[in-house]
Homo-oligomer: A and B are copies of this chain.
Amino acid sequence: VITTDDLRFLRSRLEFYEDLSDSEMRDLEKAVMKASYPRGATLRSKRTECLGVLLVRSGGLRVYILSEDGREVTLYRLGPGEVCVLSASCILNSITFDVHIDADQDSEIYQINIGTFDLLMKNNLRVENFTLRNALEKFSDVMWAMEQILFMRFDKRLAVFLLDESARVGAAEVKLTHEEIAKYLGSAREVVSRMLKAFQAEGILEQSRGIIRILDKNKLKGLL
């Protein structure tokens, strides 16, 4: 059930809200559902149907592409308050590719029904432009990821990732497996393991029981 608090959150995050007519607002509010996903759950794969527009209430989502042989490349991540419209690509003619979406933490997600959103978009140019602008911001994120993958040396990319991740959790410890880090960086587990081992040998970090502890942040920053 959607509460007043839920609606307040939606209103604050969907910029087009104030441009909706009263009946459009009612339609939208009836089309929202709230779902919980445990860490690692798949919200969208190539097989799932069109999901609708997503809004993260808590937790986070990871959006990625997947090769035929199972390699993953992370395009971007979405945190609380962020809206995902690529999950509604079936109603966006300009989008001809498919992404996968996982919960990368335990997450609460609002989902706006695709049929209702499609109608809103067709009848209200401000809703359509909001949707297009949101998708276009992701284009920028993807270009950033692409430049990282194609142009940046892997030691540098891993250093950036460890510093970001440690800043995000507010601790010197990163609790991710080599496999998980490889997925975020669009690389292979072996490559991550080798590089972490090299960092360990240089005294930059230590690894024990699946935890990476950053010992020398300045040295890590020196790689950038």
A→B interface (CB under 8 Å)? 65, 67-69, 71, 73, 92-97, 125-126, 128-129, 132-140, 142-144, 146-147, 149-151, 186
Instruction: Provide the residues of chain B in CB contact with A129, threshold 8 Å.
Output: 125, 128-129, 132
Q: How far is the CA of A69 from the CA of B71 in the complex (A)?
A: 27
Nearest opposing residue in chain B for A130, CB measure: B132
In the complex where A129-B129, A186-B150 touch, is A140 in contact with B95 (Cβ < 8 A)? yes
Contact partners of A69 in chain B: CB under 8 A: 151
Interchain nearest-CB distance for A126 vs B (Å):
7
A94 to B98, CA, bound (A): 21
**Chain B residues within 8 Å of A67, by CB:** 147, 150-151
Given B92, B125, B149, B151, which contacts A150 in the complex, CB threshold below 8 Å? B149
CB pair A150–B94 under 8 Å, yes or no, is no
Subset of 25 A-B contacts with CB under 8 Å = A65-B143, A67-B151, A69-B151, A71-B151, A73-B150, A93-B133, A94-B136, A94-B137, A95-B139, A96-B140, A96-B144, A97-B147, A125-B125, A125-B126, A128-B129, A129-B129, A129-B132, A132-B132, A132-B133, A135-B139, A139-B142, A142-B143, A142-B146, A146-B146, A149-B150
CB distance from A205 to the nearest CB of B (A): 27
- On whether the beta carbons of B135 and A97 are closer than 8 Å, the reply is no
Q: Quick one: closest B residue to A141, CB to CB?
A: B96
Residue pair A144, B73 in contact (C-beta under 8 Å) = no
Query: With contacts A132-B129, A135-B136 known, is A144 near B186, CB below 8 A?
Result: no
Q: Give complex CA distance A147, B149 in Å.
A: 12
User: Across the interface, do A151 and B94 meet the contact criterion of CB distance under 8 Å?
Assistant: no
Q: In the complex, which residue of chain B has the Cβ closest to the Cβ of A133? A: B94
Q: Are A143's CB and B92's CB within 8 A? A: no
Q: Give 18 new A-B contacts, CB below 8 A, not counting A94-B139, A125-B129, A136-B139.
A: A65-B143, A65-B146, A67-B151, A69-B151, A73-B150, A92-B136, A93-B133, A94-B133, A95-B140, A96-B144, A97-B140, A97-B144, A129-B129, A132-B132, A136-B136, A138-B139, A149-B150, A150-B186
